[in-house]
Structure 1
Amino acid sequence: MKTFDGLFAELADKAATRPAGSGTVAQLDAGVHAIGKKIVEEAAEVWMAAEHEGPERAAEEISQLLYHLQVLMLASGLTLDDVYAHL
């Protein structure tokens, strides 16, 4: 099972090593605007899943939202500590 910190480390490694065919690399290359649009889409899917599709589907959608948020963090040069400072 992945953790929030573990996922960030994995994504940071992909950002640094840029493996061919990586969806994460493709998102980073698309830029903050495209990633932001994906976050808005995923947030809506979280809401709809939580309201209409049950906890399992909501958890799946939340995991996707967290992934895209972390990609945006990397694209923006933010670290986990930058975010944790505001919790």
Structure 2
Amino acid sequence: MTRVDRSADATASGVVSDYAGGVKTFESLFAELSEKAVTRPEGSGTVAELDAGVHAIGKKIVEEAAEVWMAAEFQSDAEAAEEISQLLYHVQVLMISKGLSLQDVYRFL
């Protein structure tokens, strides 16, 4: 499991992370990721994931879903919440990759 050090804006490996930057809402995260898809900042993990394509994003979603389950079963609530936030991030990247809007998904909630 990769941990994100939000205070240092870096992942455990020291690479700047798209997860960094404090508290976001689902809508504000989607807006931020959509902007990155358009502006394509150099070194962006979001851009790299989009470039990898739907198959790679889908594999990441499956991986993150398993981590959510394991965290819910065996770790703290905070760790489970962190894993859920990472799953939501990857789901949103997939949505952007497919050209889906939040409204496209909200219609089915």
Smaller-chain TM-score range?
over 0.9
How many residue pairs end up in the alignment?
87
| Length-normalised TM-score, structure 2 | 0.79
- Aligned counterparts of 1:81 and 1:75: Cα–Cα separation in 2: 15
Divergent runs of 4+, >4 A:
none
Q: 1:71 aligns with which of 78, 93, 109?
A: 93
Alignment of 1:1-87 (within 5 A): 1-87=23-109
Distance 1:86 1:10 in 2: 23
Distance, in Å, in 2 between the alignment partners of 1:74 and 1:46 is: 22
The superposition leaves residues 58-84 of structure 1 with CA deviations (integer Å, 9 ceiling, x where unpaired) of 000000000000000000110000000
- Structure having the higher helix fraction is 1
- Structure 1 unpaired stretches of 5+: none
The percent of aligned pairs where both chains have the same amino acid is 75
Q: Is the partner of 2:61 in helix, strand or coil?
A: helix
> Residues of 2 paired with 1:8 and 1:19: CA distance?
16
Q: Where does structure 2 lack aligned partners over 5 or more consecutive residues?
A: 1-22
Return the letter of the residue paired with 1:37: K
Q: Considering only aligned residues, what root-mean-square deviation do their CA atoms show, in Å?
A: 0.4
Superposition deviation, residue 8 in structure 1: 0.1
With a CA cutoff of 8 Å and minimum separation of 6, indicate the structure with the bigger relative contact order: 1
What secondary structure, in the 3-state scheme, does the structure 2 residue paired with 1:20 have? coil
Instruction: Determine the structure 1 residue equivalent to 2:18.
Output: none
